[in-house]
A and B are shown apart, each in its own frame.
Chain A
Amino acid sequence: MQRSDYLLSQLDVLEAESIHIIREVAAEFERPVLLFSGGKDSVVMLHLAKKAFWPAAIPFPVMHVDTGHNFPEVIEFRDRRVAELGVRLIVASVQESIDKGRVVEETGRWASRNRLQTTTLLDAIEEHRFDAAFGGARRDEEKARAKERVVSFRDEFGQWDPKNQRPELWNLYNTKIRPGEHVRVFPLSNWTELDVWDYIRREGLEIPSIYFAHTRRVFERDGLLLDDNPYANRGEDEPVFEAMVRYRTVGDMSCTGAVKSTAATLDEVIEEIAATRITERGQTRADDRTSEAAMEDRKKEGYF
């Protein structure tokens, strides 16, 4: 770093911006919570939260909306990471929402618990009276997300109204809400997928093992490589084969596709990401393929 110019790298600038957002929300809201899935983005977010308050502890709990269809490697990682940091973990269970009759399980080959998560998430926010929920979403992920605010208002039904968003200027965030309303906060809004990976490498962060190449029993559906597991509802016409794969995103085992890859180290993964010509959601998520507005529609209902 050239000291005379007071230069900061792009990762330093992004880190400073995210820490500012996290502190601002911790200062202005009474009951924030950080949504932690164990995926790479939430790993980075949790790391930034740790830095924001060091040497004090992170002043809010973390919450995982658990569909019950998660990869076991990710759940194992989640529990370990949370224990290392000494933060309180709240698990909001989609299975419980089903058992209570709050939601009805989808059926058929394309059944997924993806959409059901919204109800579980909103119920948990209401139950714990959370007024701000940090999410790891990035604007480069998806075009509806590109329009989302950093501090994004949700009404008493948890809904997002994309046409009536609060303008955000400079580094000032409007944090005014009424009881029953809440905000979603996206500290990684300005990060790209590659920034996240570069930061993971720079900070030496551990991520779940499924992000690296490994051998897995998979089958092909709609161009996605799905893990052969009971939640994926594999049909007789969908033959299983063994392949060298890794995951580019971490979601449900029912709808998250793997990509063929031999990238076994962080450097190899980053090299692969830098060269790829397909978006991470386009390559790996069945849930985003429903329509061009699939994400916008789910977000309006209160999805992550």
Chain B
Amino acid sequence: MVMDILRFATAGSVDDGKSTLIGRLLYDSKSIFEDQLEAVERTSADRGEEYTNLALLTDGLRAEREQGITIDVAYRYFATPRRKFIIADTPGHIQYTRNMVTGASTADLAVILVDARKGILEQSRRHAFLATLLRVPHLVVAINKMDLVDYDEAVYRRIVDEFTAFATKLEIGDLTFIPISALHGDNVVERSNNMPWYDGPSLLHHLEHVHIASDRNLIDVRFPVQYVIRPHKATDPELHDYRGYAGQVAGGVLKPGDEVVHLPSGLTTTITHIDGPNGPVQEAFPPMSVTLRLADDIDISRGDMIARPHNQPRVAQDLDAMVCWMTDARRLTPRMKLIIKHTTRTARAMVKDVHYRLDVNTLHRDERADGLGLNEIGRITLRVTQPLFVDDYSRNRLTGGFILIDEATHGTVAAGMITDAR
């Protein structure tokens, strides 16, 4: 059996029991070490806290520990015999929306924690919206603190119904509800005896078994050229003419013998060899990093794209996109010029239009908005100085996502998801 990787994002605050849940997953999978636990116990005791504050395990920065809040995304790792897990632990408050967007961008699955006593809150809706905006394929609503509502099925049902009603407004691929008590471990690792009315899997069982292999786009061949490999001092005469195009497959399955098209030239040729990290391979698919060799000598450089002649990305300079603005140094406004990085291509872009700002809590569109501030999300149109080879983000996260960089500060100021392009 192949042990694969599941990347999942968790959103919430200490109040939701998020840290307790992560602590339990790490602890029960023996991924917390004794010295880490001792350090946390010591700090907790020094602060006079009644119980060991597992949030201290994930709050890695001094400022976070001092203020008792999670500011930045922390990555945590654990493994079971079936899977390796990468947790992007993100803060839940609205002022950290950008951090959740960041964590969700690479996630296969998002866990949204709901306090059974409080039901669906504004922040639960926001987290669900952000997860779907970033096209996280699987969503788990973990209804926590079931112990505090006497493990009552009616409470669980009410929350499931409420969330399901709200979810119809969103495009959620796969939605799962699990009643848990992170504190007591009910339905976290093992199925709980306290909720005989629940016949689904435990959270960990779900994380171990959720099928993610088909979440990748294996249909549309997309190979952004990252680096041209030409051995200069080849001692081996066979390597004298070696010219390979290295990159990470962003979509589809490539095989030697396949006819491909090079963009922007539009010239077609054939793949002769695919070199993987351990030598030649017979096929390449996401997320493999490989080197392609082609039958014809075409002028190909970094930032170009290789696709199939009858299935090409759009070649576009005008992009419609949902963007999340990530800086408080300045606002996104019309006519603003920025650097855009999309796949392996970097260009300059100008904001042509701000169509609306979205209220991430109510999903209300404010069409009078003249710009976006920190953590605000809206729909804009960009004009790019040179053509990009794009797909809609809903079709392919890697060829549909981009970042915007401030020309002056060089900060990463926005994340963008393409919705249309011309």
Interface size range on A against B: 35 or more
Known contacts A20-B248, A282-B36: A171-B398 contact under CB 8 Å: yes
Q: What's the minimum C-beta distance from A224 to chain B, rounded to whole angstroms?
A: 12
Select one of B35, B239, B341, B411 contacting A55, CB under 8 A. B239
The reply on B229 being an interface residue by CB < 8 A is yes
B4 located at the interface, meaning its Cβ lies under 8 Å from any Cβ of chain A in the complex: yes
How many residues of B sit at the interface, in one of the four size bands? 35 or more
A178 to B405, CA, bound (A): 14
From known contacts A139-B75, A167-B98, A189-B75, infer whether A174 and B412 are also in contact, taking CB-CB under 8 Å: yes
Q: Are A190 and B86 touching (Cβ within 8 A)?
A: yes
Task: Evaluate contact between A10 and B403: CB separation under 8 angstroms.
Answer: no
Residue of A nearest to B277 (CB): A51
Contacts of B229 in A (CB 8 A): 53-56
Say whether A144 faces chain B, with CB atoms less than 8 Å apart: yes
Contacting pair B288 A16 (CB below 8 A): yes
* Docked CA distance A174–B339 (Å): 10
A26 to B228, CA, bound (A): 11
Q: How far is the CA of A292 from the CA of B2 in the complex (A)?
A: 38
Inter-chain contacts of B79 with A (CB < 8 A): 10, 192, 194
Contacts of A165 in B (CB 8 A): 72
List the A side residues contacting B289 at CB < 8 Å: 15-17, 19-20, 23, 52
Tell whether, in the assembled complex, residue A140 and residue B230 are in contact, meaning their CB atoms are under 8 Å apart: no
Q: Which of B2, B61, B275 is close to A162, meaning CB atoms less than 8 Å apart? A: B61
Which chain A residues lie closer than 8 Å to B397 at the CB level? 170
Minimum Cβ distance to chain B for residue A70 (Å): 25
* Shortest CB distance A14–B (Å): 8
Is A13 an interface residue when CB atoms closer than 8 A count as contact? Answer: yes
Which B1-51 residues have C-beta < 8 A from chain A?
Answer: 2-5, 30, 33-36, 39, 43
State whether B231 touches A20 (Cβ < 8 A). Answer: no
Contact partner of A167 (CB less than 8 A), chosen from B3, B71, B277, B415, is: B415
User: Does chain A have a CB within 8 A of B105?
Assistant: yes
Given A10-B3, A143-B57, A146-B76, is A178 in contact with B288 using a C-beta cutoff of 8 Å? no
Please tell me which stretch of A1-9, A225-233, A241-249 contacts chain B, meaning at least 4 of its Cβ atoms lie within 8 angstroms of it.
A1-9
Which residues of the other chain, A, contact B213 by a CB distance below 8 angstroms? Answer: 5-7
Residue A100 CB within 8 A of the other chain? no
Q: Which of A129-179 contact B (CB under 8 A)?
A: 139-140, 142-147, 162-163, 165-172, 174, 176-178
The 8 A-B residue pairs whose C-beta atoms are closest, nearest first, are A143-B60, A282-B35, A169-B105, A176-B410, A19-B289, A56-B231, A16-B289, A166-B412
What residues of chain A have their CB less than 8 Å away from a CB belonging to chain B? Answer: 1-3, 5-10, 12-17, 19-20, 23-24, 26-27, 51-57, 139-140, 142-147, 162-163, 165-172, 174, 176-178, 189-190, 192, 194-195, 276-279, 282-283, 292-293, 296
